[in-house]
Structure 1
Amino acid sequence: MMMKSIAAGLAGTALFATVAFAQSPTATTDKAPAAATATTTTTTASGQWRTSKMDGLKIYNDANENIGTISDLLMDKSGDIKIAVIGVGGFLGMGEHLVAVPYEKLKFVNEAVASTTTTKPATTTTTTGAATGTEKTTTMAPAATTTSSTSKWYPDHAVFNATKDELKNMPEFKYSE
């Protein structure tokens, strides 16, 4: 009985397979190939900044003192950024004071903050080989690092004309519901 069921199943499968293979696709001449009609459009945004990279951006004052970081950017219904929420003080987010400042009062800078510390001059070390009587002189200069600010998609920092104490004394910003 089992053999008859298996034989019937195989015969039915073979019958359906031949019907499926007998159908051949019809060629249509009224449509062009999809690859020929598809066009690729790319958009470039050179010189634009990503808002996702603005969160945490350091804020300095005119004296190059770090006074806070951008915590949030608020925009109106048309998409224009109107307010920058700045976090002042605190440590690792604890005790941070949030203040709202007009976005147009921030000045964004692509170049790194000028350091107020002095760099060490180049040092020279002379080693005398006791066994061979030779001298080896090594000169080490301070390392210089540069980064391209045009490829970062965000500015290096922002400048706001206030001190850290002036920001802390501003009314605290609260998100209302």
Structure 2
Amino acid sequence: MLTKSIAAGLAGTALLATVAFAQSPTATSDKAPTAAATTISTTATGQWRTSKMDGLKVYNEANENIGTINDLLMDKSGAIKIAVIGVGGFLGVGEHLVAVPYEKLKFVNEAVAYTGTSAKPGATTTTTTGAATGTDRPAATTTSSTSKWYPDHAVFNASKDELKNMPEFKYAD
């Protein structure tokens, strides 16, 4: 039984190998490369992945968390025109979706400045690893923003209440 299995495996391997050897090599020509063969670059330094933008926190100018990016909408030419921001709710339940112009968002590579109280009574801590200023300075952490493939957060000039009062965004069928 083992011999038959080994023989069948060798026969299958030989059959696949003959198909690979039967292919003729492609000849080089002086034709222009096709669109499928043309690439922009083999690396994309300084570019952000849109898949990483989903769930990105959005703050206002006062460093208050006002929501998260739920979706990015683009026109037919591929340019991103609208950011859908989820405001309020808990784990997506009761969340209010609003559409804001994409160009009104500022993306920041540094962490949000945080001032709060520590566990010790009377002591305050201040973390100033970056403010929501919209600048493109490199991150203060060991992981640079170019290797992260996404910004730390976005900034939109509105309060959480102003966003909640905006008309709700609904996807048309």
Query: Could you tell me which residue of structure 1 aligns to residue 126 of structure 2?
Result: none
Of residues 136, 145, 156, the one that matches 1:160 is: 156
Cα 1:146–1:95 change in 2 (3 A) is: same
Of residues 141, 160, 170, the one that matches 1:146 is: 141
Cα distance in 2 for residues equivalent to 1:99 and 1:33: 55
* Shift of residue 150, structure 1, vs aligned partner: 2.1
Cα distance in 2 for residues equivalent to 1:95 and 1:65: 20
Of residues 154, 167, 174, the one that matches 2:170 is: 174
Cα distance in 2 for residues equivalent to 1:120 and 1:46: 41
* Shift of residue 84, structure 1, vs aligned partner: 0.1
Cα 1:32–1:100 change in 2 (3 A) is: closer
* Shift of residue 117, structure 1, vs aligned partner: 2.0
Tell me if the contact between 2:47 and 2:146 (Cα under 8 Å) persists in the aligned partners.
no
Unaligned segments of structure 2, at least 5 residues: 1-24, 29-38, 121-128, 130-139
* Shift of residue 32, structure 1, vs aligned partner: 9.5
Which contiguous aligned blocks of 4+ residues in structure 1 show a shift greater than 6 angstroms? 31-34
TM-score, normalised relative to structure 1: 0.61
Cα distance in 2 for residues equivalent to 1:83 and 1:105: 9
Percent identical among aligned pairs is 82
Query: Could you tell me which residue of structure 2 aligns to residue 69 of structure 1?
Result: 68
| SS of aligned partner of 1:55 | coil
* Shift of residue 43, structure 1, vs aligned partner: 1.0
- Please list the CA deviations of residues 7-26 of structure 1 after superposition, one character each: whole Å capped at 9, or x if unmatched: xxxxxxxxxxxxxxxxxxxx
- Please list the CA deviations of residues 5-53 of structure 1 after superposition, one character each: whole Å capped at 9, or x if unmatched: xxxxxxxxxxxxxxxxxxxxxxxxxx7999xxxxxx8611000000000
Aligned residues: CA RMSD: 2.6
Cα 1:147–1:98 change in 2 (3 A) is: farther
- Please list the CA deviations of residues 97-131 of structure 1 after superposition, one character each: whole Å capped at 9, or x if unmatched: 0000000000000001111225689xxxxxxxxxx
| SS of aligned partner of 1:150 | helix
Larger Rg: 1
- In the alignment, residue 105 of structure 2 is paired with which amino acid? L
Cα 1:65–1:147 change in 2 (3 A) is: farther
Cα distance in 1 for residues equivalent to 2:50 and 2:26: 42
Cα distance in 1 for residues equivalent to 2:71 and 2:108: 18
Query: Could you tell me which residue of structure 2 aligns to residue 108 of structure 1?
Result: 107
Aligned counterparts, 1:20-169, within 5 A: 43-117=42-116, 146-148=141-143, 149-169=145-165
- Please list the CA deviations of residues 66-96 of structure 1 after superposition, one character each: whole Å capped at 9, or x if unmatched: 0000000000011000000000000010000
Cα distance in 1 for residues equivalent to 2:46 and 2:171: 31
TM-score, normalised relative to structure 2: 0.63
